[in-house]
Amino acid sequence: MYSTGSYSSISVAIGDLNKDHRLDIVVVNNDTGSIDILLGYFEGFENQTRYSAGSSPQSVVVGDFNNDTRLDIVVVNEYSNDVSVLLGNGNGSFAEQTRYLVGSRPYSVAIGDFNNDTRLDIVVANWDSNDVSVLLGNGNGSFENETRYSAGYYPSYVVVGDFNNDTRLDIVVANWLSSDVSVLLGNGNGSFAERTRYSAGYYPSSVVVGDFNNDTRLDIVVVNEYSNDVSVLLGNGNGSFENQTRYTAGEYPSSVVVGDFNNDTRLDIVVANRDGNDVSVLLGNGNGSFENQTRYSAGSWPQSVVVGDFNNDTQLDIVVGNWDSNEVSVLLGNGNGSFENQTRYSVGSYPSFVVVGDFNNDTRLDIVVANWDSNDVSVLLQYNRGAIAYKMAYASGGGSSLQGVVIGDLNNDTNLDIVLANYGTNNIGVLFGYGSGSFENQMMLSTGANSHPISIAVGDFNGDCVLDIALANNGTKHADVILGNGKGKFAIQTSYEISFDSPPLVMASGDFNNDKRSEIVIVNGGSNHVDIFVAYNRGSFENLIRYSAGSSPRSVAIGDFNNDTRLDIVVANYYSNDVSVLLGYGNGSFENQIRYSAGSVPRSVAIGDFNNDTRLDIVVANWLSSDVSVLLGNGNGSFENQTRYLAGSSPQSVVVGDFNNDTRLDIVVVNEYSNDVSVLLGNGNGSFAEQTRYSAGSWPQSVVVGDFNNDTRLDIVVANRDSNDVSVLLGNGNGSFENQTRYSAGSYPQSVVVGDFNNDTRLDIVVANSGSNDVSVLLGNGNGSFEEQTRYSAGSDPQSVVVGDFNNDTRLDIVVANWNSNDVSVLLGNGNGSFAEQTRYSAGSRPYSVAIGDFNNDTRLDIVVANYYSNDVSVLFGYENVVFVKQMILVTGNDSRPQSLVISDFNNDNLMDIGLVNSGAHNIGIFLGYGAKQGIVLAGGQGQGNGLTQLSYPQGVVVDQLSTVYVADQGNDRIMRWLKRATHESVIVGGNRRGEQANQFN
């Protein structure tokens, strides 16, 4: 137990505050107005568990032999001439052994897939029979009978690798008596070629492979017992090796492994020296040579060595099996090639070999030891008890009356930060972490007078991939949202009054509906339910800024005309017979207009690259002169004089697209008085062929293109004002079109656009109806036909419509320019083809055309409107406006009195679930998945009591990464643990009556 010095430690959060891959604790002390930070550290290994093997087990390896994703063990038994296979249960325990015969006095074992059937096989070095045994695996934990291959004299150690780069595993054996190594190249079918032998030092006892000179070819290192050194044989990549180079080690070296101990991407060597009672570390130079050894003490007669990261600090550590002292030594690495002093753990009698692996799936490495004299193996599971090294305290200020704490990375520096709810001072504090477990002085954010924040949560509430802060205010019964920018700064908070049945008690967040935004769950004090609130971004717009244009601007388009990656504006001016170009600065402001002559009474403007010079050009539909003007761009924001091409009578709208699939842009124009559309095919040099005309409806006003029948050919849709419908003309892909099909719209349809509004990958249509003051949405069937319209209210006399995602929820929204009401309407899409009610924003006088783009590079869409009477354009900048709407109520039962909650995926369905501590019902309940209305009891529920299936006034709950639930059982003064799929709990701390002893709570 760890004292905080407080009589009111009321809230706790956990996270890795100092980046040592161990969880730390933050505790809120209400009475002292401070928090305590307790840092976790590596505690060590539990006492061994031993499992019987054969006679005198000499060597051990681990692998998954039955393909159940759980590690198993194979042991070679020197005097019973066999191997034992112990299949793992995945919780750190193992089934009884199954034994398979091998050669005489097996001494070493290795595993690999020798016949390329994705099943692990076994190879054993047999000391007395001077050969190796290969046992092919069946993939279910059983093995075929051995096949034997000759090695040298007294083979003492075996490893595998691909030495000739043919993707087939080969074998290398250290031959003790003949002082050499044998290489047996694999054929890929489980058989091996005859051995080739290479000289080593005197009496080699162990061998390992690695790439020591960074040439992508495997090399060999051998420890030589009698010459007290190691031999390095560099590989040629064809299965042959260079002559050995030898490096001094300690006295009677017995085992060798390799790893990168100083993080320089070069392999190093560690050797266990049996007579020297130590290990030698030889740092590699990366060219196949090594530095002189550095030695570190181990136990008595170290026989075997292995490496791994045992304290989860990403640095390699060493484990040594000590034969004479019946223990293993753990030496933690510092990451610079040096190591801490050893810590020793008892094992069986005469440990001969040691390996590591995660045997209980807790993401921590465990140790397995083969004990030669006691004929068994020892399993040492790493502790998971969360030892605390020391603490630090941070004061939150006088009168703060701290109530809640959460952690998260609020400034995207990969260091965890702390957020505190200061109930008494009506603010929240943010302490930014340095990544070392220490923190900056806190930043204070006011929550308003008498707000009394009681609980906080962090999450991405507006879908910008940056953490925001949500808080529940007990005083005002409000939920506040403070939006983060990822740089440690926060937007002005937005407060939403939510009708709580009682003051909010505790809050948590999670993405329950997989919309990439966090939702909020709130427990209300004294109630028997919890509320879930879903975040919506209303996509609001700031006050407009206006810029002068020509006389009676009628149409607007946007693009980058000077190739500075900033969006610019072009406007068609109805009465001044020209277009205005306003170049953007990239911060939302624009230069004064530059005007270029067009035809007579220009009504519509569009842009595209008509001469394939990567510079944007302009095309204008001229109503009175019945033609189109093409102005070729120079790429610097200026344009050439117009070239004009005949269209139909009174062209009203123009768009561009490639209608004949020749990679050249073409033009399509709707002609108001001739009730048709003109198609002008482009030549790719900025000029166009003569028009071809196709009938449309009565008084066509607007045109847009898209592929409505998914044949990869562009089609046309036209809004017909006087016939109150839209015409769809399907394209043939050669520049010609089928006869029109017409679909009803509203009254006087004035403008049309397309988009996928219900996320079915089929294009839909939206029409602005000036006579009925609404928009029509026609959902596409994907074959060129459309469903009947659904209509949504807009402003007065809507003239122009565009679509875009204004609230960054990946769903298309609608914006409409309303002529008579001098505003624009924004209708947010629900993603299923329906839309929310409009929100309206003021524009200039008689807005006639609207376009969208990100003018200030904040990744949010902005709106630009051409105002016909005020002779200007309005720019409305988009900003985020996150609100929360109560989505559902989860009933927890009469007198349940939920006190605490936790968010986790309890059933591994990739959906977040809610766990609740119901103090009044003495149980832990779970609501599985978004939309669940009925909870299930996870723990307790057997009435109030102190049994292992009972709880008494539980108060708090946390869940670890293995979905193990830990409960603060207040009435019984204990902490309970509930393992996944367990039928009862276990007491991990307390349960010994109330008191102040180390095993008691008070």
Question: Which CATH number characterizes residue 172's domain?
Answer: 2.120.10.30
| Residue 719, in any domain of the structure | yes
| Residue 571, in any domain of the structure | no
| Domain hosting residue 27, numbered range | 1-43+393-442
What is the maximum alpha-carbon separation in the chain? 106
CA dist 345 to 79, 300, 378, 492, Å? 27, 13, 11, 57
Q: What is the mean pLDDT of the chain?
A: 81
Are 430 and 485 in the same domain?
Answer: no
| pLDDT computed for residue 916 by the predictor | 58
Q: Is the pLDDT of residue 782 over 70?
A: yes
Residue 11 pLDDT grade (very low, low, confident, very high; cuts 50, 70, 90): very low
Are 36 and 125 in the same domain?
Answer: no
Tens of pLDDT along 269-320? 999 999 999 999 999 999 999 999 999 999 999 988 888 888 777 889 998 8
Residue 447 pLDDT grade (very low, low, confident, very high; cuts 50, 70, 90): confident
**Of 438, 529, 523, 405, the residue nearest 12 (C-alpha):** 405
Report the predicted TM-score, pTM, of the whole model to 2 decimal places: 0.49
DSSP code, position 914: E
C-beta separation of 167 from 143 below 8 A = no
Q: Is the pLDDT of residue 883 over 50?
A: no
| Residue 124, in any domain of the structure | yes
Are 191 and 300 in the same domain?
Answer: yes
Q: What is the mean pLDDT of residues 75-87?
A: 89
- The last residue of one of the domains, among 442, 477, 512, is 442
CA dist 311 to 44, 308, 701, Å? 8, 9, 72
| pLDDT computed for residue 712 by the predictor | 93
Are 831 and 739 in the same domain?
Answer: yes
SS (H, E, C) 9-31: EEEEEEECCCCCCCCEEEEEECC
| pLDDT computed for residue 395 by the predictor | 47
Are 283 and 418 in the same domain?
Answer: no
Residue 78 pLDDT grade (very low, low, confident, very high; cuts 50, 70, 90): confident
Number of folded domains that form the chain = 5
Are 322 and 398 in the same domain?
Answer: no
Are 285 and 341 in the same domain?
Answer: yes
DSSP code, position 786: B
Question: Which CATH number characterizes residue 962's domain?
Answer: 2.40.10.500
| Residue 238, in any domain of the structure | yes
Tens of pLDDT along 665-711? 999 999 999 999 999 999 999 999 999 999 999 999 999 999 999 99
Are 1 and 122 in the same domain?
Answer: no
| Residue 860, in any domain of the structure | no
Q: Can you tell me the distance from the alpha carbon of 403 to that of 13, in angstroms, rounded to the nearest whole number? A: 12
C-beta separation of 88 from 69 below 8 A = no
Question: Which CATH number characterizes residue 494's domain?
Answer: 2.40.10
DSSP code, position 91: S
Are 153 and 197 in the same domain?
Answer: yes
Q: Is the pLDDT of residue 933 over 60?
A: no
Residue 979 pLDDT grade (very low, low, confident, very high; cuts 50, 70, 90): low
Tens of pLDDT along 532-574? 565 555 554 555 577 787 888 788 888 999 999 988 989 999 8
Are 814 and 713 in the same domain?
Answer: yes
Question: Which CATH number characterizes residue 795's domain?
Answer: 2.130.10.10
Tens of pLDDT along 486-528? 776 665 444 444 545 555 555 556 665 566 655 665 655 555 5
| Residue 582, in any domain of the structure | no
Q: Can you tell me the distance from the alpha carbon of 87 to that of 64, in angstroms, rounded to the nearest whole number? A: 8
Weakest-pLDDT range from 604-613, 798-807, 852-861: 852-861
Are 258 and 127 in the same domain?
Answer: yes
- The last residue of one of the domains, among 802, 817, 842, is 842
| Residue 625, in any domain of the structure | no
Q: Can you tell me the distance from the alpha carbon of 470 to that of 375, in angstroms, rounded to the nearest whole number? A: 60
Q: Is the pLDDT of residue 830 over 60?
A: yes
For 970, the 3-state DSSP assignment is helix
| Residue 524, in any domain of the structure | yes
DSSP code, position 156: E
Q: In DSSP terms, which residues pair with 13 in a beta bridge?
A: 26
Tens of pLDDT along 627-654? 999 999 999 999 999 999 999 999 999 9
| pLDDT computed for residue 387 by the predictor | 37
% of the chain surpassing 70 pLDDT = 74
**Of 584, 604, 602, 601, the residue nearest 593 (C-alpha):** 584
R_g (Cα) of the chain, nearest Å: 38
For residues 880 and 804, the model is more confident at 804
Q: Is the pLDDT of residue 425 over 50?
A: yes
Tens of pLDDT along 955-969? 656 666 556 766 667
Weakest-pLDDT range from 295-299, 611-615, 633-637, 827-831: 827-831
Instruction: List the strands of the sheet with 986-990, edge to edge.
Output: 954-959, 965-969, 974-978, 986-990
Residue 900 pLDDT grade (very low, low, confident, very high; cuts 50, 70, 90): low
- The last residue of one of the domains, among 783, 817, 842, is 842
Are 173 and 222 in the same domain?
Answer: yes
Q: What is the mean pLDDT of residues 831-859?
A: 86
Q: Is the pLDDT of residue 885 over 80?
A: no
Tens of pLDDT along 716-738? 999 999 999 999 999 999 999 99
Count Cβ atoms below 10 Å from residue 306 Cβ, excluding itself: 22
For residues 553 and 228, the model is more confident at 228
